[in-house]
A and B are shown apart, each in its own frame.
Chain A
Amino acid sequence: DAGVIQSPRHEVTEMGQEVTLRCKPISGHDYLFWYRQTMMRGLELLIYFNNNVPIDDSGMPEDRFSAKMPNASFSTLKIQPSEPRDSAVYFCASSLDGIPYNEQFFGPGTRLTVL
């Protein structure tokens, strides 16, 4: 298995532009998580899905952020409009069955820079 796949790996954009980050979870995993990592705030959970349904989006910072999971093999995180404070590394992770003690598998991340 190729693991969790994220694209793009790097994104540089200007303030006000729309940004879309993509994630393909490990095949068969039914939980998908989006995290954001910054020096100041560390690793933050933004939202997670179970069987393509959003379960907890309490970590989404504001309405500019939205996430979708149209099918079991694809998810997107969109920021519109983007702001410089959104600059961070965004990780996607997936896990099997949601059994509490199953570890999460992380993708390589997307480094977003908003100028």
Chain B
Amino acid sequence: AQSVAQPEDQVNVAEGNPLTVKCTYSVSGNPYLFWYVQYPNRGLQFLLKYITGDNLVKGSYGFEAEFNKSQTSFHLKKPSALVSDSALYFCAVRDVGYYGNNRLAFGKGNQVVVIP
């Protein structure tokens, strides 16, 4: 079974400081990993994904994420947080090794609050 853990409920960061949102995953095969963001009263929006290759993935709005196979992690990062980054962030995984699997397993989400 595939699963994702997002250990923190809320991440508070001052505007201009680096932002990190943590994610660890569990799959039986190789993972495809995704980050989504949800603003209030909106649907989820795709930020970035890891498929293969370079462990550092760059995405929308200045976000990036680092894939670490040995630690089974895929932490989301932004060098300088903006107040407008305040939102709910979801990590998701799909198990590549499971043929026909088109399910995404989502984490519970992390609320990010950027303090002006």
Chain A residues close to B by CB (< 8 Å): 4, 31, 42-43, 45, 48, 50, 55-56, 91, 93, 95, 98, 100-101, 103-109
Q: Which of B44, B90, B103, B107 has the most CB of A within 10 A?
A: B44
Interface residues on B, range: 20 to 34
Contact of B94 with A100 in the complex, beta carbons under 8 Å? yes
Bound together, the chains give a CA A105 to CA B109 distance in angstroms of 17
* Residues of chain A with a CB closer than 8 A to B109's CB: 42-43
What residues of chain A lie closer than 8 Å to B51, measured between beta carbons? 101
Given A101-B94, A107-B43: A50 and B32 interface contact (C-beta under 8 Å): no
Known: A4-B43, A42-B107, A109-B43. 4 other contacts (CB 8 A): A43-B44, A43-B109, A91-B43, A103-B49
B82 CB within 8 Å of chain A: no
Q: What is the minimal beta-carbon distance from B114 to any residue of chain A, in angstroms?
A: 22
Which of B25-60 touch A at CB < 8 Å? 32, 34, 36, 41-46, 49, 51
Assess whether B106 is interfacial by the CB under 8 Å rule.
yes
The answer to whether B49 touches A42, judged by C-beta atoms less than 8 angstroms apart, is: no
For the complex of A and B, 3 pairs with smallest distance between CB atoms: A106-B43, A106-B44, A103-B46
Contacts of A105 in B (CB 8 A): 46
The distance in angstroms between the C-alpha atoms of A108 and B45, with both chains bound, is: 10
Contacts of B43 in A (CB 8 A): 4, 91, 93, 106-109
Contacts A/B (CB < 8 Å), 19 sampled: A42-B109, A43-B106, A45-B104, A48-B102, A55-B102, A91-B44, A93-B43, A93-B44, A100-B32, A100-B96, A101-B94, A103-B46, A103-B49, A104-B44, A105-B46, A106-B36, A106-B44, A108-B43, A109-B42
A108 to B: closest C-beta gap in Å: 5
Is B101 engaged at the interface, CB distance under 8 Å to the other chain?
A: yes
Please name all residues of chain B whose beta carbon is closer than 8 Å to the beta carbon of A91 when the two chains form the complex.
Answer: 43-44
Interface string of B80-92 (1 = CB under 8 A from A): 0000000000100
Cβ contacts under 8 Å, A104 to chain B: 44, 46, 104
How many angstroms from the CA of A76 to the CA of B45 in the assembled complex? 22
A87 to B96, CA, bound (A): 33
